[in-house]
Amino acid sequence: MRQMMLFALVPSLFGCATPLVGAATGAPFSVGQSPQPPLADGGYAYQLFVPQAAEASADHQAHWPLLVFLHGSGERGSDIARVKVHGPPKVADRQANFPFILVSPQLPAEEDWDLAKLDAILDHAVATLPVDRSRIYLTGLSRGGHATWRWGAAEPERFAALVPVAGRGDPATACALKDVPVWAFHGDRDDVVTPEGSFGMARAIRACGGRKSRLTIYPDLGHNAWDPAYGDAELYLWLLTHRSEAPAP
C-alpha cells in the first residue's frame, strides 16, 4: 500500500511509446522500459525505463531523478529480460508510476562489474536523457551490492545517495563515503554474503566521521534482503530527499 501511495504521486507512466527528444543531443528515446544494446563492443546491454510523464521533459524544462541498478550473479548472461527479475526494474515493470529514469545494465556470464563500462552508460544517460544531475542514485543487490559500495567509493561525487543490498564493501574505502547518504540492507542470517559485509562498512564510515549512513538488518532473513528492501516505498522516498552538489541542468 505504501508503495502504491508513492507511485500515485506522479501521473501514469506507462501506456505510451511516444518518441521523445534527449535533453542534450536531440536523440529520440521512448517511454516505458525497453532493452538497449551495448554502447560499444564489449560494453553492457541494459534495460532503460523512462516515465511517461517525462514527455513533459521534451521541452527541456523538466528533469528527472536517475536510478542506476546493478543486479546480482543470478541475472548474468545474455537474456536481458532477466535483469527485470528483481529490484527496481521489476517494480518499474509492474507499477505504472515509478518516478525515476532507471538504467539497469546486464553483466555477461561469469563476469564482474567493470566501473569504466558503467561510467560509459551513466555518461550516455546523462547526455541523452532529461536527467537531473543532482539526483543520480546508485543501488545494487549481492554482486551488484558489492559494486555499489565499490563504484560509490571510487566516485562519490557522482551520486546523491547509495543503496547497497546484501553487499560487501571494503572498509579501507569507507572514508570516501563519509559525506554520501547510504542506506544498506542485509539479512541477519545471510550465509552467502555475511552481514559483516554491511556492518563493517557502517562502522568504518562512522569512524571516519560519517553521519549520513544507515543500516537495516532484517531478522531471520537469509541472502534475499532485496524483496523487502525494494518492495518498501520508504526507500524510494528516502532517495528522493537527497541531492548532490552537482548542478541541476
Please write the tens of the pLDDT for every residue from 33-87: 999 999 999 999 999 999 878 765 455 567 899 999 999 999 999 999 999 999 9
Domain residue ranges in the chain: 2-240
Q: What is the mean pLDDT of residues 209-225?
A: 97
Quote the pLDDT of residue 28: 56
Provide the pLDDT confidence category of residue 1 given band limits of 50, 70 and 90: very low
Give the span between the Cα atoms of 26 and 76, in whole angstroms.
Answer: 32
The residues, any chain, with a CB within 8 Å of residue 204's CB and separated by 6 or more, are: 171, 172, 174, 175
Give the span between the Cα atoms of 77 and 109, in whole angstroms.
Answer: 4
Residue 21 DSSP label: E
Give the span between the Cα atoms of 16 and 205, in whole angstroms.
Answer: 43
Please write the tens of the pLDDT for every residue from 177-203: 999 999 999 999 999 999 999 999 999
Average pLDDT of the chain is: 88
Q: Does 158 have pLDDT greater than 50?
A: yes
Quote the pLDDT of residue 49: 96
- For the segment(s) 2-240, the CATH number from 3.40.50.720, 3.40.50.1820, 1.10.357.10, 3.20.20.120 is 3.40.50.1820
Poorest-pLDDT segment among 6-15, 60-69, 82-91, 232-241: 6-15
Within its chain, how far is the Cα of 174 from the centroid?
A: 19
